[in-house]
Every structure is written in C-alpha cells, then in structure tokens.
Amino acid sequence: MGTQQLLLILVGVIVVGLMVFTGFSIAKNYYETSNRDQLITTLNDLALLAQQHYRKPEEQGGGGGVYTRFTIPRQLHWTDTGNFSATVRATRVDFTATGKEIGRNGRTVVRVTARVDQNRIRITITN
C-alpha cells in the first residue's frame, strides 16, 4: 500500500473513534439529565402531597396545619428513577432524591433536594 492509503485509513480510524466518543458522551449526558428531570418531577409531586396533607383538616386524615404525620407513599420510596426520603418537621418537610445515573461531578449519582413549607416548594440540584 502507498503512504496515501495508509494515511487515509489512519484518518478514517481517528474520525470514527471521535464519532463513537462523541456519541457516548451525548448518551451519557442525556441519561443524566433525564434522571435528574424525573427526580424533580417526583419531588414536585411529593411536595404537593405534603402541602395537601398540611392543609387538610385532621378529621379528614390530614395534618391540620402541621406536617408532623406526613409520610412518603410506600410505592414512591424506591422507584426506577431513584430513592426518595423525607425529614418531617412541624413547619416543613425536607425531601432528598438520589438517582441512578452518575451526576455532574463524575463520581456520585444524581441528587436533588426539596424543601416544602406552607407557602412554597424550593428544589435544589445537588449533583
């Protein structure tokens, strides 16, 4: 083979390698972002359930102005998206969601937190 043919083969191998690497990076970014978005959606649903519990009278099974007896529904503790936990206080609930995909730092999984009180829901992306 001539040197031109070897050079073309080498350039072709490099281009294909770069395309595979780029495709892998795009897919990884998609899965990470998708997992984070799913966690945020579930946290928002949990926050709305907590606020509903807070506003519902005790006679109807609610909190009657406190979050104290709020619990995460059993089917939402562990999902295909991740794990959810709550720290319940009388005036607020702090949720933590841990995903399945590696997050922005490249070492640990995606993590999102939410703080809920009677007036608002504040969601924070931790990783």
- On the question of pLDDT at 8 being above 80, the answer is yes
Domain tally, the chain: 1
Q: Please name every residue paired with 98 in a beta bridge, in sequence order, or none if there are none.
A: 83, 111
The pLDDT assigned to 3 comes to 86
The 10s digit of each residue's pLDDT in 74-121 is 998 999 999 999 999 999 999 999 999 999 998 999 999 999 998 999
The pLDDT assigned to 1 comes to 64
The 10s digit of each residue's pLDDT in 16-68 is 999 999 999 999 999 999 999 999 999 999 999 999 999 999 999 899 999 99
State the residue range of the domain holding 49.
Answer: 3-125
> At 110, phi and psi to the nearest 5?
-60, 140
Distances (CA, A) of 84 to 3, 64, 71: 60, 24, 11
For every residue of 34-56, DSSP letters joined together read HHHHHHHHHHHHHHHHHHHHHHS
